[in-house]
């Protein structure tokens, strides 16, 4: 398992323990944002051919790191679902710890991956980097997301993103249980 994944999981467990979720409305809103993030990840994982080619179609035509964009939405959704209006300091601490951790982890990861891609693909990656943002889509770039030929069921299965879906559902179940039973 990659270190960033383990560290991210440990941080998620810590903030879930620290938080005191209490609102079904915030849980529902947060779960919806998490589901959007997971959908982005599922689509991105069905388009990327890792370490064989520079993937620039589908979600990769919109942002260079759609997997991390999806993760950002999942983290945002988790934070929303963990929020508690009656515990503003605790909620602020959860948001601060998570936001700082996520930003640091993924800045380092994106930098390392881009150095690898630059060394592997040179000018082709430089041109791609010039026209496609790292995480936040440029206005009008979303049309590339809908290139049906960019997606493959076989690639999706090989990349095993279904594990992330199960992880998201498990997180949501824990948060829901904390709300229902007040622990």
The whole-number pLDDT of residue 142 equals 82
Contacts of 149 (CB under 8 A, 6+ apart): 57
Is the CATH code 1.20.120 the one for domain 3-178?
Answer: yes
Tokens of residue 141, six digits:
């770039």
Phi, psi of 122 (to 5 degrees): 50, -125
Residue keyed to tokens 């493959």: 152
The percentage of residues in the chain with a pLDDT greater than 70, rounded to a whole number, is: 99
> Within 10 Å of residue 139's Cβ, how many Cβ atoms?
5
pLDDT score of 3 more than 90: no
How confident is the model over 163-168, as a mean pLDDT? 91
Per-chain mean pLDDT for the chain = 92
Q: How many residues does the chain have?
A: 183
- pTM comes to 0.91
Buried b (16+ CB within 10 A) or exposed e, 142-176: eebbeeeebbeeebbeebebeebeeebeebbeebb
The answer to whether 91 and 21 are in contact (CB under 8 A) is: no
Q: Is 183 helix (H, G, I), strand (E, B) or coil?
A: coil
**Torsion sign over Cα 41, 103, 8, 52:** positive
Residue-wise pLDDT tens digits, 34-80: 999 999 999 999 998 877 789 998 999 999 999 999 999 999 999 99
């Amino acid at each position: 398992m990659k270190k960033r994944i383990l560290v991210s999981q440990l941080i998620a467990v810590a903030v879930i323990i620290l938080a005191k979720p209490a609102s079904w409305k915030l849980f529902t809103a947060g779960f919806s944002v998490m589901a959007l993030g997971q959908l982005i990840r599922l689509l991105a994982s069905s388009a990327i051919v890792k370490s064989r080619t520079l993937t620039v179609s589908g979600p990769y035509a919109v942002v260079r790191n759609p997997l991390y964009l999806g993760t950002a939405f999942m983290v945002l959704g988790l934070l929303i679902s963990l929020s508690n209006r009656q515990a503003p300091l605790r909620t602020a601490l959860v948001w601060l710890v998570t936001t700082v951790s996520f930003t640091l982890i993924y800045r380092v990861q994106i930098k390392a991956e881009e150095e690898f891609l630059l060394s592997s693909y040179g000018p082709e990656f430089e041109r791609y980097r010039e026209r496609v943002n790292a995480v936040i889509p440029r206005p009008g770039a979303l049309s590339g997301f809908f290139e049906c030929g960019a997606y493959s069921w076989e690639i999706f299965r090989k990349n095993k993103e279904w594990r992330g879906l199960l992880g998201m559902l498990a997180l949501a179940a824990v948060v829901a249980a904390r709300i229902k039973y007040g622990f």
